[in-house]
Amino acid sequence: MDDGHDDGVCVARCLGGDRSAFEPLVARYQRVLYTVALRLLGNPEDARDATQNAFVRAFERLSTYDQSRKFFSWMYRIAVNECLNAIRARRLGEELDDDLAIAPQLFERVAARELHERVQSALQRLTPEYREVVVLRHYGELSYEEIAVSLNLPVKTVKSRLFTARQRLADVLAAHERPLS
């Protein structure tokens, strides 16, 4: 996926005025970024919006991109920030996707679905702080240090959050498997 040389060429062409050169970058990274957005936000429409906005923002700010760094790392942070903003805004909106507000019966119905839906559902039961670190680690494949940079947190906090998040996920998934009483 990561082709630094090609990325650099595309960026240079964009900066030279060739907007179409941005397309290979979108094609190359849309899958991983969309996956992260979907896992963070929990629904395809929001994930699509966040991914699309992130790419457009990245294009608009391309002149601020430090070409000594990996394009993907820079792009990734923009996308994650887009998602985190959406989560924060949603938290304060009227239609909060409150982690505790998912009805038990809905949660039980989800048990019969495909694995990714099961994991997605479980992720949505985590608070955004815990969900973020799990998604960045597993779907963005970021290291602890990269997550720390993305979320502006100490590495130690990232590690402890990730540990707790996984434990909670285990609890949620275990509850998910529990037979109906």
Partner 1 sequence: MIAPEHEDLIQRGLDQRLTPDEQAKLRVVLTRFPLARETHQRLRAVVGELEQSGQVDPPADLTAAVMRDVMATTQAPAAPRPAPLPASHPDDGRRLTIRRVWYGLATAAVILLGVTWFFGVPAIDVGTEGTIGTAGHQAEGLARAFFASDAFAALRRNPAARDLLAERAFREMLANDDCRTVLGDPALAAAITHPTFVAALADPSFLPAATVGAATPHDATLDPQVRAALTHPVMRRALASVAFQAASRSDRLRARLADPRAAAVMQTPEFRAVLADDRLPLALGSAGFDAALHAAPGDPPHP
Long-range contacts of 116-121, Cβ-Cβ distance < 8 Å, separation of 24 or more:
118/173, 118/176, 119/173, 120/38, 120/39, 120/42, 121/176
Please report how close the Cβ of residue 172 comes to partner 1 at its closest, in angstroms.
Answer: 9
Please report how close the Cβ of residue 106 comes to partner 1 at its closest, in angstroms.
Answer: 16
Q: How many residues bind partner 1 (CB under 8 A)?
A: 65
Please report how close the Cβ of residue 81 comes to partner 1 at its closest, in angstroms.
Answer: 5
13 binds partner 1 (CB under 8 A): no
Long-range contacts of 127-132, Cβ-Cβ distance < 8 Å, separation of 24 or more:
127/99, 128/40, 128/84, 128/87, 128/88, 128/91, 129/161, 130/161, 130/164, 130/165, 130/168, 131/39, 131/40, 131/165, 132/40, 132/80, 132/84, 132/87
Site string for partner 1, 131-160 (x = CB under 8 A): ---x--xxx----x--------------x-
Applying CB under 8 A, the residues found at the interface with partner 1 are 14-17, 19-20, 22-23, 26-27, 30-32, 34-35, 38, 44, 48, 51-52, 55-57, 59-64, 78, 81-82, 84-86, 88-96, 98, 101, 115-116, 118-120, 134, 137-139, 144, 159, 162-163, 166-167, 169-170, 173-174
